Amino acid sequence: MRTDRRAERVDVRKTYKLYVGGAFPRSESGRSYPISTPRGRFLANAARGSRKDARDAVVAARKALAGWSGATAYNRGQVLYRVAEMLEGRRDQFVAEVVDSEGTTARRAESTVDAAIDRWVWYAGWTDKIAQVAGGTNPVAGPYFDFSIPEPTGVVAILAPQESSLLGLVSVVAPVIAGGNTSVVVASEDRPLPAISLAEVLATSDLPGGVVNLLTGATAEIAPWLASHMDIGGIDLCGASAGQRVELERLAAGTVKRVARAPESTPDWSADPGTGRLRRFLETKTVWHPIGI
Amino acid sequence: MTAANVEIDGAVRDATSLRAFLHGLPGVDEVGANARAAGLATRSIKKASKVWALETAIGMVDLTTLEGADTAGKIRGLCAKARRPEPSDPTCPPVAAVCIYPDLVAAAREHLAGSGVAVASVATAFPSGRASLSTKLADVRDAVAAGADEIDMVIDRGAFLSGHYQRVYDEIAAVRERCDPARLKVILETGELCTLDNVRRASWLALLAGGDFVKTSTGKVSPAATPPVALVMLQAVRDFAAATGDRRGVKLAGGIRSAKEAVRYLVMVKEVAGDAWLDPALFRFGASSLLNDLLMQRSKEATGVYSGADYVSID
C-alpha cells in the first residue's frame, strides 16, 4: 500500500530572527509577529524588533564602519558581486518568497528577482568608478592641486520600501553599502520574508558582519529611535508612513543627518536607477595640495 | 561564609599562624559563586534608579591612564575630564580620582588643585612587581612625596602562589608604613591567582596587612575584573568589617567597559557588602573607556535620544 508521505509530515513553522553584527539574535524584547500573504495565508513568524535592537544594530554598524569604508573600492566591488552570485544561487527561493509576499504571478516575480540580482551587480560595478564620476581634479588659480573625493557618510539607517519587498530593498541597500557606508535596515513591515532571506545570503557571502544589519518589526515603532540617534549619519525615509515623515525629518534635523526623503508616489523600481542613490550618502572632501612639495 | 566563623585573633602572629589562618578560610564554591554573580546581573535598573546608578558610578571612577606613552599633556586632558566629565552639564559629578604613574603625579596634582578629585598613583614596580623591596619602597616614597593621595601597589604573585604568605604580608605592611598619609590599594592581579580560593586568601592577606582597598587587577592581564571575583572580594571586606568593625574598600579594574556592567556591579555591592559600600570611599571602578559609556547613557536618560562616541572626548 502506498502512503502519502507528504501528508504524514508535520509542517515546519518558522520563526525568523534579526540580523545584527553578522549574527542572528532574537529580538531583545522576545516579541514576534505573524506574517502572511496579501490574501491572509500564514507564512512564518518574524521577530518584532525593539528600540534596543536598533541601538545594538547601530553599535554593530559603527564597529564595522572602519573596516568596510577602509577597504579598497575594488574589494568592495568583489564582495558585492559575490552577494549577487549567492542571490543567483537561491533564485528559486526568492521567486517563491516574492510570490508569497507580494501576491504577484510567478512570471512577474521571476523578472523582479532577476532585476534585483542585476541591480546588485550594477552597484558592485560602481564601487570603484563613482569616485571618478562624483569626484575629480578642480582647476584653481594658484600653485595647488585641488581634488574632490567622495567619502562615505557613515552609519546610514534605511527604512526599506513597504511595497517592493526585494527589488525595492536591494535598490535602497546596495547603493548605501557600495559607497562604503554601513547600514541599519528596517525591512518592509508586512513583507519581510525576502529581506530575511537576503540577510541569510549576506551572512554566507563575504560581506563583513555589521555592514548590513536587518531589523524586522513595526517601522513606525523603530524609526523615531533611528531618526534621533546621534551616532547615525544619514537616514533613508523611503518606507516611512506618510503621517510620520515630517516627524522623522524633524528628529533627524537634531544632528543634521543626511535625509533621503520618501518618494511622493510609489517609484518604478525596475527603471534605470542612475547614480542618485549612490551619491545621496557620500560626502565630498576637497583637498588643496601645494604643487612642488 | 558568614563573619561568625572567621576568627582573626592571632592570625598574623607568625608565618605558621598566617598560613593556618588563610588555609583555614572556608573554600569558595565556584559553581555557587558563578551562579550568584549571574543571578545578581539579571536585575533591571530603569529610569530614576538608572540615573542615580550612572551618577554614582561616575563618582566612583578612578580615571586611569597607565601607558608608556603618557605625557604631561595627556595628564592635563585627563585631569580636565576628571573635574568636569560632562563640560556642558555642571550637575554631572566629578570622578573619584585619576590613576597614573608616579612620575606624572606632580603634574596631575597641579591640575586637580581644589577640585576634590584625588590623585592615585601606581607604585612598587607596577605592573609586574618584580623588583627588590627597596626599589618598591623608593617608588612609593617618590609617589607620596609628589603628592599622591592614594597608592596602588601590586603584590608579589610569585611569592603568593608559591606559598610565601609571610613575605607578601611583610611587603604590604612595609608599603603601608611608607605610604602614610596616602591610602593604600592592594592589587591582587586575580587573573594570575587561578582560583577563587586564592582570591579569598589574597584578599584577607591584604586586609590583615593594612590595605585600605583590595583591587582586582592591573589592567594588563586578562581576565581582569569578573563578577565572581568581585563577589568573593566583596564578601571578604564584608566579613572583615564584621570581624573587626573596620570597613575597607574594593576596587574593580580592567575589562569593565559598559555602563550596564557597572550598574550590575553596583547591584552586587549593595547585595553582598551592603549600602555602606555604595560610596566612593569604599568602592571604585578603575577604568578609562567606561566613563564615556556612563556619560553616553546619562545623556540618553536626560535627552531621550541615543548618544554616540562623537559626543564624548577621546582618551
Judged by a CB distance cut-off of 8 A, whether residue B305 touches chain A is yes
What per-residue confidence (pLDDT) applies to B81?
A: 96
**What residues have CB less than 8 Å from A69, skipping those under 6 apart?**
A151, A152, A180, A181, A182
Q: Which domain holds residue B75?
A: 29-300
Is residue B197 annotated as part of the catalytic site, yes or no? no
Nearest CA in chain B to A231: B308
| Contact map slice: B 281-300 vs A, CB within 8 A | none
In a domain, A253, yes or no: yes
In a domain, A9, yes or no: no
Judged by a CB distance cut-off of 8 A, whether residue B309 touches chain A is yes
CB contact under 8 Å between A228 and B306, yes or no, is: yes
In a domain, B11, yes or no: no
Among B126, B176, B189, smallest CA distance to B150 is for: B176
In a domain, B18, yes or no: no
What per-residue confidence (pLDDT) applies to A13?
A: 87
What per-residue confidence (pLDDT) applies to A245?
A: 97
Is residue B251 annotated as part of the catalytic site, yes or no? yes
In a domain, A231, yes or no: yes
In a domain, B12, yes or no: no
In a domain, B24, yes or no: no
Query: How many domains does chain B fold into?
Result: 1
Ranges of chain A whose pLDDT falls below 50:
1
C-alpha cell at B239: 566579613
Chain B contact set for A228 (CB, 8 A): 304-306
What per-residue confidence (pLDDT) applies to A49?
A: 98
CB atoms within 10 A of CB B117: 21
A·B CB contacts under 8 A: 24
In a domain, B104, yes or no: yes
Chain B contact set for A55 (CB, 8 A): 306
In a domain, B6, yes or no: no
| Contact map slice: B 214-253 vs A, CB within 8 A | none
In a domain, B306, yes or no: no
pTM: 0.92
Query: How many domains does chain A fold into?
Result: 1
Choose, out of B306, B307, B311, the residue to mutate when testing the contact with A (most A CBs < 10 Å).
B306
What per-residue confidence (pLDDT) applies to A11?
A: 85
Nearest CA in chain A to B299: A230
Q: How far is B305 from chain A (nearest CA, A)?
A: 6
Q: Which domain holds residue A95?
A: 16-34+44-290
Choose, out of A28, A156, A231, A251, the residue to mutate when testing the contact with B (most B CBs < 10 Å).
A231
CB contact under 8 Å between A228 and B305, yes or no, is: yes
User: In this structure, are strands A42-47 and A32-36 parallel, antiparallel, or unpaired?
Assistant: antiparallel
pLDDT in tens, chain B (315 residues): 444 457 888 899 999 999 999 999 999 999 999 999 999 999 999 999 999 999 999 999 999 999 999 999 999 999 999 999 999 999 999 999 999 999 999 999 999 999 999 999 999 999 999 999 999 999 999 999 999 999 999 999 999 999 999 999 999 999 999 999 999 999 999 999 999 999 999 999 999 999 999 999 999 999 999 999 999 999 999 999 999 999 999 999 999 999 999 999 999 999 999 999 999 999 999 999 999 999 999 999 999 999 999 999 987
Chain A contact set for B304 (CB, 8 A): 228
Judged by a CB distance cut-off of 8 A, whether residue B310 touches chain A is yes
C-alpha cell at B292: 564615556
In a domain, A82, yes or no: yes
Q: Which amino acid is at B115?
A: S
Q: Which residues of B95-110 are buried (b: 16+ CB within 10 A; e: fewer)?
A: bbbbbbbbebbbbbbe
In a domain, B142, yes or no: yes
In a domain, A58, yes or no: yes
Domain with residue B236: its CATH number is: 3.20.20.70
Domain with residue A21: its CATH number is: 3.40.605.10
